[in-house]
Amino acid sequence: MDKKKAKLIFKHNSFDIIEDGDFVLCAISGKEIKLKDLSYWNVELQEAYYSAKEADERYQSLEK
């Protein structure tokens, strides 16, 4: 069974699925994130993060 990358629009407390798929990629690590496990994203940058660690890395880089 082939996995397909989804396309999403991130909102403040949810996301809209633009193209069906099984996963999105973390903007920092490149790891696949199953949609059911997706918990961290940035609305302004429209990026998904694998965990709080990757989200924190992005926020730290934006402060510099």
Residue spans of the domains in the chain: they are 7-63
SS3 content of the chain, % helix, strand, coil (to 5): 25, 35, 40
3-class SS at 63?
A: helix
35/60 Cα distance (integer angstroms): 25
pLDDT at residue 2, rounded to an integer: 82
Q: Residues 3-46: pLDDT tens digits?
A: 999 999 999 999 999 999 999 999 999 999 999 999 999 999 99
* pLDDT at 1 > cutoff 70: no
Q: Is the pLDDT of residue 64 over 80?
A: no
For the full predicted model, state whether its pTM sits above 0.85. Answer: yes
pLDDT in the model for residue 4:
97
d(CA 15, CA 41): 9
